[in-house]
Structure 1
Amino acid sequence: VGFDTTMNPAVVAVLAAQACRLFPFLRDVHLIRAYRGFRPYCPDHLPVVGPDPRVPGVLHACGHEGAGIGLAPGTGALVTAHLLGRPWRGADPAAHTGLLPDRFLTTGGVPT
């Protein structure tokens, strides 16, 4: 879908109808404006959490798609563990290697 920044009224109507099915009281609410935004994601649909191997001191916490709010506590715990150099909940700090930024790099440091 790319970087289309237009608002699609048909999509807003579908989302509003779905919300009303879940929460019937919303039928009495008047919509005064709608917002939209990008949901950044990674090719493997997993967030990137951890230090950037190319730039010392840079720590990533991004690419959560639409789950950023729900994943925020865990992401915060992982970032804190990295910053303090401590294990996360008693686990080896490398235990979450599937989320580290270097999973997208080849040995030459070029994105795959």
Structure 2
Amino acid sequence: MAAPLCVEVQFGGGAELLFDGVKKHQITLPGQEGPWDVRNLLVWIKKNLLKERPELFIQGESVRPGILVLINDADWELLGELDYQLQDQDSILFISTLHGG
């Protein structure tokens, strides 16, 4: 079984409003059989951090279009998106690029 992972999750661009206005979260992901990847992280975030209107953050098993995801300041598209395996002390930033009008 893998050891727990400590990661920092941040929300910006209005996405933090879905998380009680809290922009930065230091979280410890519990140990599990396989490695943690972004797909697992999104499920954990939805269960443990997301306070309202999950449809504004999650679509299917990914983030909805219009949310930019950066892992350690790199675009997640360069790192494998949902399949990126999280490392201890990673920083994951979700920025909403959608603005109401």
TM-score between the two structures when normalised by the length of structure 1: 0.23
Larger Rg: 1
TM-score between the two structures when normalised by the length of structure 2: 0.25
Greater helix proportion:
1
Greater strand proportion:
2
